[in-house]
Amino acid sequence: MTATEELLRRAERYAERAPAGETPARPAKQVAVVTCMDARIDLSGLLGLGEGDAHVIRNAGGVVTDDVIRSLAISQQLLGTEEVMLIHHTGCGMLTFTDDEFRLQLERDTGLTPSWAADAFGDLADDVRASIARVKSCPFVPHRDKVRGFIYDLSTRHLNEVK
């Protein structure tokens, strides 16, 4: 059985025990969380989030890309969120390469140059601060006064705020 087939079975079991009816589209906690796609981050467990509590935006590194800005603008402008949490983590793979190295690897492997940057970074705290600044400077995100950044320590399981 493939991983996808197993996940589909789990989805069926979930549907059988989940309460009927739709959860409102507007997040109950009025918060959007931007974090890394790393499978070691159990965001629901870490933050105690339930279904319908928050918008969760995940990508490699939790990088604030144009697409993350697009999602935050929709989240705030149309769906009522007013706070943003940015969460990076220790042991992130984005610390292990540079954009140039990755671009060259892709060019060697495919013969094509990607039209996008990987947005790798060398320092967690610096990238969190840069992400905060990018969200706070964006005119499309109206609630910029409640943007906070954190580093999740995978070893201790503590969430540490970046000032």
Over the chain (163 residues), what is each successive 10-residue block's mean pLDDT?
Answer: 95 88 90 98 96 97 97 98 98 97 97 96 97 97 96 98 95
The alpha helices in 43-143, defined as continuous H runs, are 43-47, 66-79, 99-110, 124-136
**Which pLDDT belongs to residue 19?**
82
pTM of the predicted protein model: 0.93
Considering the domain delimited by 23-162, tell me its CATH architecture.
Answer: 3-Layer(aba) Sandwich (3.40)
pLDDT at position 20? 81
Please report where in the chains the tokens 């800005």 appear, as a residue. 69
Is residue 87 helix, strand or coil?
Answer: strand
Q: From the centroid of its chain, how far is CA 114?
A: 22
For residue 87, the model assigns a pLDDT of 98
For residue 118, what pLDDT is reported?
A: 96
* Alpha-carbon gap, residue 79 to 102, rounded angstroms: 36
Could you give the count of Cα atoms lying within 13 Å of 154 in the half-sphere of its Cβ? 12
What span, in angstroms and rounded, lies between the C-alpha atoms of 57 and 141?
A: 15
Give the full edge-to-edge strand order of the sheet including 147-152: 54-59, 31-36, 83-89, 147-152, 159-162
| Residue pLDDT, tens place only, 74-100 | 999 999 999 999 999 999 999 999 999
b/e sequence 28-46, b meaning 16+ C-beta within 10 Å: ebbbbbbbbebeebebeeb
Q: Contact 86/92 with Cβ under 8 angstroms?
A: no
